[in-house]
Structure 1
């Protein structure tokens, strides 16, 4: 019985002794800290978008906006190095504000998995959107099994080539083309409609063609053997003039004969 009482006393007094040794403070385990969000630019660089990631890191406004958006959810679209290589001359001609706006134009402040992008087509605001003064919107749409992005400054579309990172609240997708906002670049003009075909002139009927073929030719000039009109007139006058004395002579012959006979009788 005495042993049982001693054991019970030890069980009660031992924790008190340990607590006193620690200064009377109870030791409690701290809650595990949530994992830090991934570095967006580092993830872009690993996914084949080194050039774009370097531009974001070099722009204080763009970098701070990307990092702030990562806490609440963000979906970034980074052009591949091949796409950026051909676009760099155009990028260098932009102002500092224009460069920051173009970089922020490649992200939306909402987390979208690839599946949700396919079911949420339409116009989306970007990190560059600032009220109605700066819309900086683009249109997400499907092209078969591919997700594409269309802007009014591009005739074609940008296509998602690969998923760089996808874990809520951050998603990063690689694009094959740089997105050009209409706020920085001239809009694409709609092609002019093709001119209407000109109707062919009606063809002449066979009967009309035949009549044209059988129209009599106009009289041509007289042949070389035919005498001129003046000669014809003069010949008629001469004939008339020559015929008059001959007729008078023939009429006088009987008179002369009669006179001669009468003289002989006398």
Structure 2
């Protein structure tokens, strides 16, 4: 069987074209996959979600930002405080060292991807990106009350509440919270409010003594038994009368004797 030289040439050209195009197709497919898995810009997403101030702090801390970006491949859930919360916290933030600032920022993310539904079913302590073995726990506690997700630390007297979902696409989730999370490793724990000391008992004793003295005075003024009805003044008058009676008797007797003697002398 004879073959046409033209057909053979066409077949060879087609084979060469396939060999040339296959690598290009593979490269295009690889490039498309890389674009689909591009690392999201975490700080840009935070800024759009009402956490611009926190994103700015993160951009100014290369170590913290690098840790956030490195955690993306394994999954990360970030809690970004709102701009209002960050403004109120800035005086405390400025007092931290550079390492302290980085630790604080890293404290706002856990190295696990959680949907909001997953957070609601994950009550309990969680490690954060700042956790470094037993020496630096840097744990926060997730607590839920109904549909409200809260984050607690021993250094704050009130929990931070999840306000909204900024971004949620596996493997990255970002949630806006209404307070800056304070790790106990950087801030003193909030002591339990001391029980108020009982109010001192009213000074009843002095008032009771006064009433007693008052009652005694009233008792002295109160009428006594029927046999002692007379007042002290009346009693003194009676005494004078009784004392004067014998004197008058003796005077009358003396006068009578004098009259008798005078009559005898006249006779």
Band of TM-score, shorter chain? 0.7 to 0.9
Task: Give the alignment partner of residue 64 of structure 2, picking from 62, 65, 73.
Answer: 62
Aligned partner of residue 187 in structure 2, secondary structure: coil
Check the 8 A contact 1:134/1:183 in 2, yes or no: yes
Task: Give the alignment partner of residue 120 of structure 2, picking from 118, 121, 125.
Answer: 118
Does residue 147 of structure 2 align to residue 145 of structure 1? yes
Task: Give the alignment partner of residue 247 of structure 2, picking from 229, 238, 249.
Answer: 238
5+ residue gaps, structure 1, are 202-210, 261-266
Aligned partner of residue 120 in structure 1, secondary structure: coil
Aligned alpha-carbon RMSD (Å) = 3.8
Check the 8 A contact 1:19/1:26 in 2, yes or no: no
| Aligned-partner Cα distance in 1 for 2:238–2:127 | 101
Task: Give the alignment partner of residue 106 of structure 2, picking from 104, 107, 129.
Answer: 104
5+ residue gaps, structure 2, are 205-214, 225-229
Does residue 52 of structure 2 align to residue 50 of structure 1? yes
| Aligned-partner Cα distance in 2 for 1:133–1:232 | 107
| Aligned-partner Cα distance in 1 for 2:55–2:137 | 24
**1:242 CA displacement:** 2.3
Does residue 22 of structure 2 align to residue 27 of structure 1? yes
1 or 2, which has the higher helix percentage? 2
| Aligned counterpart, 2:168 | 166
Deviation larger for 40-49 or 30-39: 30-39
Q: Deviations over 1:210-245 (max 9, x none)?
A: x99x9671679634895496x567635633642553
**1:77 CA displacement:** 0.3
TM-score, L = length of structure 2: 0.74
| Aligned counterpart, 1:154 | 156
* 1:119 to 1:236, Cα distance in 2 relative to 1, 3 A: same
**1:107 CA displacement:** 0.3
TM-score, L = length of structure 1: 0.75
| Aligned counterpart, 1:217 | 222
* 1:21 to 1:141, Cα distance in 2 relative to 1, 3 A: closer
Aligned partner of residue 27 in structure 1, secondary structure: helix
Structure 1 runs of 4+ with >2 Å offset: 5-10, 12-22, 24-29, 31-34, 192-201, 218-229, 231-250
Q: Deviations over 1:31-60 (max 9, x none)?
A: 433321201111111111111011111101
* 1:7 to 1:122, Cα distance in 2 relative to 1, 3 A: farther
| Aligned-partner Cα distance in 1 for 2:111–2:249 | 124
Aligned length: 240
| Aligned counterpart, 2:208 | none
Does residue 129 of structure 2 align to residue 127 of structure 1? yes
| Aligned-partner Cα distance in 1 for 2:133–2:53 | 29
